[in-house]
Chain A
Amino acid sequence: QKEVEQDPGPLSVPEGAIVSLNCTYSNSAFQYFMWYRQYSRKGPELLMYTYSSGNKEDGRFTAQVDKSSKYISLFIRDSQPSDSATYLCAFRSTSGTYKYIFGTGTRLKVLA
């Protein structure tokens, strides 16, 4: 079993739609949960991070962590064409490492 699973998409939605992006993971030691956005030919940029469990909201973005199911989600409300990018989930454990593990990324296209 892979440590992190993420559907690669592509996911196409109309402008204004609510987008749901998800990752599952197998490592119980993961305590930091992150979502990055990556535009073509650019490095990833952090959108949101959560420590341990719960929800976090920032503008149109909401991140959710369900540690019991080992499942994290990112919701984008009122999606815009400028949200078209690849979304990467990322994880870090607290077991003596500062290594970040990334998912494969989901390609999102928001159609105007």
Chain B
Amino acid sequence: DTGVSQDPRHKITKRGQNVTFRCDPISEHNRLYWYRQTLGQGPEFLTYFQNEAQLEKSRLLSDRFSAERPKGSFSTLEIQRTEQGDSAMYLCASRRQGGDEKLFFGSGTQLSVL
């Protein structure tokens, strides 16, 4: 399978704990995106990378959220001191620079904060 891979698929944590998610994009894709989706809503933009550079970050994103993409390959999204409002599906997507506008999404990580 050469699609976008996300790990873990599900994460249950207690309020106040830190969590980290991983995304492996399609290998030739240099643009990588993180979105958050809650039930009944569309994906909400969090941040995106071009290679290893984080080029844009949502103003709605609190300082508890941080994302990295070392060496321009896989990416991690960390949430510190989780809150119940962080419960959501976290989606990763990638695309090639140039080419068409197609984002390839992974199946997401479902986070539940108890």
Residue contacts A-B, CB under 8 angstroms, 8 given: A41-B107, A43-B91, A88-B42, A98-B31, A98-B48, A99-B45, A100-B103, A102-B35
> A72-112, CB under 8 A of B: which get 1 and which 0?
00000000000000001000100001111111110000000
- Across the interface, A105 reaches (CB within 8 A) one of B41, B91, B100, B102, namely B41
Residues of B within 8 A of A98 (CB): 31, 48, 50, 55-56
Cα–Cα distance between A42 and B102 once the two chains are bound (Å): 16
CB contacts between A and B, total, < 8 Å: 56
B26 near A: Cβ within 8 Å?
A: no
List chain A positions with a Cβ less than 8 A from chain B: 4, 6, 8, 32, 34, 41-46, 49, 51, 88, 92, 97-105
**A4-B42, A99-B56, A105-B40 provided; 19 other pairs, C-beta below 8 A?**
A32-B101, A34-B101, A41-B108, A43-B93, A43-B106, A43-B107, A44-B43, A44-B91, A46-B101, A46-B102, A46-B103, A49-B102, A98-B31, A98-B48, A98-B55, A98-B56, A100-B103, A102-B42, A105-B42
B101 touches A49 (CB 8 A): yes
Residues of B within 8 A of A104 (CB): 40-42
In the complex, how many angstroms separate the beta carbon of A111 from the nearest chain B beta carbon?
A: 21
List chain B positions with a Cβ less than 8 A from chain A: 4, 31, 33, 35, 40-45, 48, 50, 55-56, 91, 93, 100-103, 105-108
Cα–Cα distance between A105 and B45 once the two chains are bound (Å): 15
In the complex, how many angstroms separate the beta carbon of A4 from the nearest chain B beta carbon?
A: 8
Residue of A nearest to B44 (CB): A102
Cα–Cα distance between A6 and B93 once the two chains are bound (Å): 22
Residues of B within 8 A of A6 (CB): 42
